Amino acid sequence: MYKIPANTLFLGKQLIFVPECHSTNTLALELSQKPSTSDGTVVITDNQTAGRGQRGNTWQTEPGKNLTLSVILKPTFLQVKDQFFLNIFASLAIYDLLQSKTDRVNIKWPNDIYVNGKKLCGILIENQIRGLQVSNTILGIGLNVNQQNFSKSSATSLSLETGENYDLASLLQELLSHLEARYLQLKAGAYQILKDDYLNVLYWLNKLHVFESNERQFEGKITGVDEFGRLLIETLNGTEVFEVKQVSYVN
């Protein structure tokens, strides 16, 4: 049902569809260890039964309604110290896709895609490191497309936001083109452009909000991310720096 994209150079040229699997990230990781698997291979399913999310969470998705895929990348040009740019390029590509269809799209640090204050897409990036380089990356994407009901009120889908129903195969083609365009920007070393674009659409940037860290609630303003991708929040104590698991957004 999913076609090899005609308009990309390498991304998705090898497309593996499985009707059902536990996790496309797990399957993609296994396949990526085989020499015959090329850079840019996409693994996609209609029914993911044990989806994995960030911070050890699960990812649930209704069969046949959404895009559930993993992209195998070999970003050997990328230094380990710059690996946060994988979050940046991927979330920007999905931002690019969604903002062509609806308004009020933001990236919530580090890489959730929000529309109208609700989560529409989650990304799970799993890297393998060799020496100082990133040798293998599995980029997992769960994009809520036509699903109408969610157990969490904080989740949404493209269909709920726009009132339209989408053809998953066409949307995948568009997604892969955006992913390739942003990935090639990264490969070309356009770090400053990528970072500026990311900050421009960062959720809650420069607005006063309440956060929580170590059971302490505090007010602050997100001012950006540092060179390691850590979140910078300006608080009464000055600028505080947070790793992914160290801070949550309250309101």
Binding mask 43-72 for ligand BTN (x = CB under 6 A): -----x--xxxx--x-x--------xxx--
Binding to ligand BTN by residue 110, rule CB under 6 A? no
8/133 Cα distance (integer angstroms): 25
Among 5, 12, 24, 175, binds ligand BTN (CB under 6 A): 24
H or E segment and range at residue 107? strand 105-108
136/120 Cα distance (integer angstroms): 26
Shortest separation between residue 151's beta carbon and ligand BTN, angstroms: 15
C-beta nearest to ligand BTN: residue:
122
Shortest separation between residue 217's beta carbon and ligand BTN, angstroms: 23
Residue at token pair 């490191």: 129
* Cβ proximity to ligand BTN, 155 vs 190, nearer residue: 155
* Cβ proximity to ligand BTN, 138 vs 160, nearer residue: 138
Q: Which of residues 119-138 bind ligand BTN (CB under 6 A)?
A: 122-124
Nearest alpha-carbon partner for 235 in 245, 227, 244, 247: 247
* Cβ proximity to ligand BTN, 72 vs 134, nearer residue: 72
* Cβ proximity to ligand BTN, 121 vs 233, nearer residue: 121
Q: Is 123 exposed, middle or buried (0-12, 13-18, 19+ CB in 10 A)?
A: buried
106/203 Cα distance (integer angstroms): 5
Q: HEC profile for 185-239?
A: HHHCCCHHHHHHHHHHCECCECCEEEEEECCEEEEEEEEEECCCCCEEEEECCEE
Shortest separation between residue 236's beta carbon and ligand BTN, angstroms: 30
Residue at token pair 């070393």: 189
Binding to ligand BTN by residue 73, rule CB under 6 A? no
H or E segment and range at residue 175? helix 168-187
Shortest separation between residue 28's beta carbon and ligand BTN, angstroms: 8
Binding to ligand BTN by residue 23, rule CB under 6 A? yes
Largest CA distance in the chain: 54
Shortest separation between residue 237's beta carbon and ligand BTN, angstroms: 29
Q: Which of residues 211-230 bind ligand BTN (CB under 6 A)?
A: none
Binding footprint of ligand BTN on the chain (CB under 6 A): 23-25, 48, 51-54, 57, 59, 68-70, 112, 122-124, 140-142
